[in-house]
């Protein structure tokens, strides 16, 4: 039986070695390439054209979502699995929207990971129950505009409305409107809750 050819993109050497060992323990999987950065991941996909690519969400340079977008943009039939230690529901949403066929937590058991790779290779999408539950919690109105994302990032940095206005060259009244929109879309009551939601849900990274 033809083996599933896979590329593993993971920046932590020990984790990557462990993943490769787990995958190679399955007689139906062959690891054909490895990558330590986002750029290397895209290059490795181009070089090997694997059946499946396993991608860590947090990578130097391009992150897992960026890698997925880049690979799927050039090879629309590419099958990617995003793996993360503790992704927020915004991370899950972005990864799936980018075209990932599976989103798994690094706490996944080895046999479940191997089964997911076989499923994805067969054209099936894999969303574990705990990941689906996080995705379901995502507020339907939480898509922020680029300007609202800038404002939210500065809220996370602890900036006041006056400071945000100065940094973005906006009127303070305009900033207040943006802040109100951000709070409403995130379903929170104040700036502290907005900053917490932004970080825990993966909307803003620090």
Domain segments of the chain as ranges:
4-136, 146-200
Residue 130, pLDDT > 80, answer no
Cα within 13 Å of Cα(149), Cβ side? 9
% of residues, the chain, pLDDT over 70: 93
Alpha helices, DSSP H, located in 2-37: 13-24
pLDDT of residue 141: 46
DSSP state of 3: P
The length of the chain, given as a count of residues: 206
- Nearest CA to 72 among 48, 36, 97? 97
112 — pLDDT class (breaks 50, 70, 90) = very high
The whole-number average pLDDT for the span 192-204 is 82
For 140-187, write each residue's pLDDT tens digit.
Answer: 545 788 899 999 999 999 999 999 999 999 999 999 999 999 888 887
CATH class (in words) of the domain with range 146-200: mainly alpha
Mean pLDDT for the chain overall: 88
The reply to whether 4-136 and 146-200 are identical in fold is no
Q: How many CB atoms lie within 10 A of CB 106?
A: 16
Token code pair at residue 126: 């894999």
Token code pair at residue 150: 């800038």
3-state secondary structure of 56: strand
For 27-73, write each residue's pLDDT tens digit.
Answer: 899 999 999 999 999 999 999 999 999 999 989 989 999 999 999 99
pLDDT of residue 137: 65
**26-46 as b/e: b if 16+ CB within 10 A:** beebebbbbbbebbbbbebbe
Token code pair at residue 193: 């809750």
Pick the CATH number of 4-136 from 3.40.50.300, 3.40.50.2300, 3.30.230.30, 1.10.260.40: 3.40.50.2300
pLDDT of residue 184: 84
201 — pLDDT class (breaks 50, 70, 90) = confident
Alpha helices, DSSP H, located in 49-171: 64-74, 89-98, 110-121, 129-136, 146-156, 161-168
């Amino acid at each position: 039986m033809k083996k599933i050819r896979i590329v593993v993109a993971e920046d932590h050497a020990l984790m990557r070695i462990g993943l490769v060992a787990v995958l190679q323990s399955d007689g139906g999987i062959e690891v054909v390439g490895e990558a330590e950065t986002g750029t290397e991941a895209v290059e490795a996909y181009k070089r090997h054209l694997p059946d499946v690519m396993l991608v860590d969400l947090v990578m130097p340079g391009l992150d897992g979502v960026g890698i997925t977008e880049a690979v799927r943009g050039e090879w629309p039939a590419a099958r990617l699995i995003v793996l993360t230690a503790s992704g927020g529901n915004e991370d899950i949403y972005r990864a799936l929207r980018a075209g990932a066929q599976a989103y798994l937590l690094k706490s996944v058991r080895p046999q479940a990971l191997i089964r997911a790779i076989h499923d994805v290779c067969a054209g099936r999408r894999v969303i574990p129950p705990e990941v689906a539950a996080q995705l379901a919690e995502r507020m339907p109105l939480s898509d922020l505009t680029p300007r609202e994302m800038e404002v939210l990032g500065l809220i996370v940095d602890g900036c006041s409305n006056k400071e945000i206005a100065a940094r973005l060259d906006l009127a303070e009244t305009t900033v207040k409107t943006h802040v109100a929109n951000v709070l409403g879309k995130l379903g929170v009551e104040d700036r502290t809750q907005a900053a917490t939601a932004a970080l825990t849900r993966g909307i803003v990274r620090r």
